[in-house]
Amino acid sequence: MQLHRQIKASELLERLSKGESLNLLDVREVIEFHTYNIGGDNIPLSNLENTLNSLPYNKTDEIIVMCKVGLRSETAQNILERHGYNNVRNLSGGLVAVQKLK
């Protein structure tokens, strides 16, 4: 079984502050995304499996999945890995952790 990789909010914010272009995938519902987000693509977890063929990522790209606290994004990480995406990282603590640092 593959070890699930995570990224801490502090590392993510540092990389974003340096202007790094990251593949961010926010799997919260649309209303949540519009209430607060740090950018990236918004594909709700409920739609993820149906949109796998149209994702704008290569299977080797680093993809950072996120949600409010990290649970839905962990499920998204499992789905993506099952479909051959091999560089998926889950935002540890989710966007709540990001907001605590801002």
Phi/psi at 56 (5° precision): -85, 25
Confidence of residue 1 (pLDDT cuts 50, 70, 90): very low
Q: End-to-end alpha-carbon separation of the chain, Å?
A: 35
Asked if 68 and 95 touch (Cβ cutoff 8 Å), the reply is yes
Residue 74 scores a pLDDT above 90: yes
Helices marked H in 1-102 — which ranges? 9-17, 30-35, 45-48, 71-82, 94-101
Better-predicted residue by pLDDT, 4 or 93? 93
pLDDT, mean of residues 80-93: 97
Average of per-residue pLDDT values in the chain: 95
Domain 5-101 has CATH 3.40.50.2300: no
pLDDT, mean of residues 43-51: 97
